[in-house]
Amino acid sequence: MKISVKWKLTLLYTFFMTLLACVIIAILLSLSNETILASIQTELKESVENAFQDIGWDDGGLDIDNDIMEVEQGIYLSVYNENSEIIYGKIPHGFMDIPPMQEGQLRTLQDSGTRWYVYDSSAEIEGYGKLYVRGIVSVTRAEESITIFLRFTLILLPLMVLLTAFIGYRFTKRVMRPVYAAARTAEEIYESGDLSKRIPEGRGNDELHKLIQCLNQMLEWLEETFAREKQFTSDVSHELRTPVAVILSQCENLLDEEEMPKKFREDVEVIKRKAAAMSRMISQLLMLSRADQNRLELNRELVDLSMLAEIVAEDQQEIADKKSIIIYTKVEPELTGYADETMLIRLFVNLLGNAVRYGVEGGIVEFALWREGERICGSVKDNGIGISREALPHIWERFYQEDPTRNRPDESGAGLGLPMVKWIVQMHGGEIWAESEKGKGSTFGFWFPQKK
């Protein structure tokens, strides 16, 4: 399955952003765990040391402030005498094991599945003697808060991934918009052959906009170059018509001379044949040149396609007889359609002429024409030399010939017939295609609408 560049960039962006978020969360969890525990230890020590400020000797007895009984930030404080007997304060529920006093040391104890921080400190109370204050705080509760934060993060992570993917998709789509516009314009130019189209540049001065400007400049240069080439082709073809027509005329005049020696007559016939081939090529060039410049319009009218196909087939049979090729026709009777009669004659002549030209001695050509719904369909099939798979996509290109040396001296082939055939079919709103296998023959199929 092919994935578009837009989705590739979106997935890549989402992957790296998710990876970065996971790394940041892991670092924050690690740091927060250490920070929270360090903060608890500091608060525990400060609470124990500050508790001595609430203890004094007054009127022959200890005076202990009630603040020690209050549990602030989860810290339990209790006061002990010199014999480690509790005098005042609170011990957390679940803290059953009473460890001995270890002054100034922060200890971590495990009791009933709960981890505790325990810190002991002592001080001399004037009038009473030595007292101990013990602070106890649950480490497990602090770790549970971190666990809750972790679970909350895991719940939000998929939503964050989706949000990141959505933002990445929108951002990538916006960035790739000029590229898609360039691709659409290129497809339109390829399909229509209209080099006057340009890629929308939009606003901006980044690398993509500069690339589009360069592409538009290149299209402008190509348009001007092809326009000059088309004009040159048209001018040259037009200028060559007159001298070629003179050559043909003079050849006919010479051939009318009955006293001309046989050797000279043969030479003149060769000149006439080649001049006639050149005249046909010039005619095709002029037609294609006018088509390129949109100066050639179809004259569509109701045409008896059955009769037209039979007439062309009969004319081509005379040429096919020289190679003992038989043209079989399978034309639907009384078949009519709106078309340019002159262009259709060129279409049939070119397809049948190619089938005969590249057919084998004693071969066959099948010419079919029928109606299929609102379409006129046709095909020309031969058992000739065929076309290789590599050459088949190029046969519609002008002047293309798979093997230019295969034409016989008496056969003309300049590589213009099939491009002209394709143009005729497309101008009638249809399609044409070819199937072939080297050494086994070729089949050309086409269709165009029966009505305007």
CB 47 within 8 A of CB 75: yes
How far is Cα 248 from Cα 242, in angstroms, rounded to an integer?
Answer: 10
pLDDT value of residue 14: 82
Q: Which two tokens stand for residue 238?
A: 């037009």
Closest CA to 6 of 159, 165, 186: 165
According to DSSP, the β-strands at 364-372 and 326-331 are parallel
Calculated CA dihedral for residues 33, 34, 35, 39, nearest 10 degrees? 100
For residue 441, give every residue at least 6 positions away whose Cβ sits within 8 Å of its Cβ, in sequence order, or none.
381, 382, 383, 384, 385, 386
Confidence tier at 121 by pLDDT (50, 70, 90) = very high
Q: Which helix (H) or strand (E) holds 139?
A: helix 139-192
Cα–Cα nearest to 381, from 400, 398, 397, 367: 367
- In this predicted structure, the answer to whether residue 186 has a pLDDT above a threshold of 70 is yes
| Model confidence pLDDT, tens digit, residues 416-448 | 788 889 989 998 999 999 999 998 999 999 999
Name the helix (H) or strand (E) containing 206: none
Residue 408 pLDDT grade (very low, low, confident, very high; cuts 50, 70, 90): very low
Judged against a pLDDT cut of 50, whether residue 410 lies above it is answered with no
Task: Compute the mean pLDDT over every residue in the chain, rounded to the nearest whole number.
Answer: 83
Give the amino acid at 143. E
Element (H, E) at 263: helix 262-292
Task: State yes or no: pLDDT of 449 exceeds 80.
Answer: yes
Q: Nearest-CA neighbor of 434 among 426, 425, 424, 443? A: 443
Domains defined for the chain, CATH in brackets = 5-146 (3.30.450), 207-292 (1.10.287.130), 301-449 (3.30.565.10)
Within 8 A by CB and 6+ apart from 84, the residues are 100, 101, 132
Identify the helix (H) or strand (E) that includes residue 441: strand 441-449
- Higher-confidence residue of 383 and 171: namely 383
- Does the pLDDT at position 97 exceed 70? no
404: pLDDT strictly greater than 90: no
410: enclosing H helix or E strand: none
Q: Does the pLDDT at position 3 exceed 80?
A: no
Question: Could you tell me the strand order of the sheet in which 114-125 lies?
Answer: 86-89, 75-80, 129-138, 114-125, 106-111
pLDDT over threshold 60, residue 73: yes
pLDDT tens, position by position, 23-47: 877 776 676 667 778 888 888 899 9
Nearest to 437 by CA among 392, 373, 377, 375: 392
Contact 129, 69 (CB under 8 A): no
Residue with tokens 């602090």: 142
In tens, the pLDDT along 295-353 reads 667 788 999 999 999 999 999 999 999 999 999 999 999 999 999 998 899 899 999 99
DSSP states of 310-369: HHHHHHHHHHHGGGT-EEEEEE-TT-EEEE-HHHHHHHHHHHHHHHHHTPPTT-EEEEEE
What is the C-alpha separation between 169 and 308, in angstroms, rounded? 59
Q: What is the pLDDT of residues 217-271, one digit of tens each?
A: 888 888 888 777 767 666 676 677 778 888 888 888 888 887 788 888 888 888 8
Q: Which of 319, 358, 370 is nearest to 440 (CA)?
A: 358
With a CB cutoff of 8 Å and minimum separation 6, the contacts of 141 are: 74
pLDDT tens-digit series, residues 297-306: 778 899 999 9
**Structure-model confidence comparison of residues 404 and 177, the more confident one:** 177
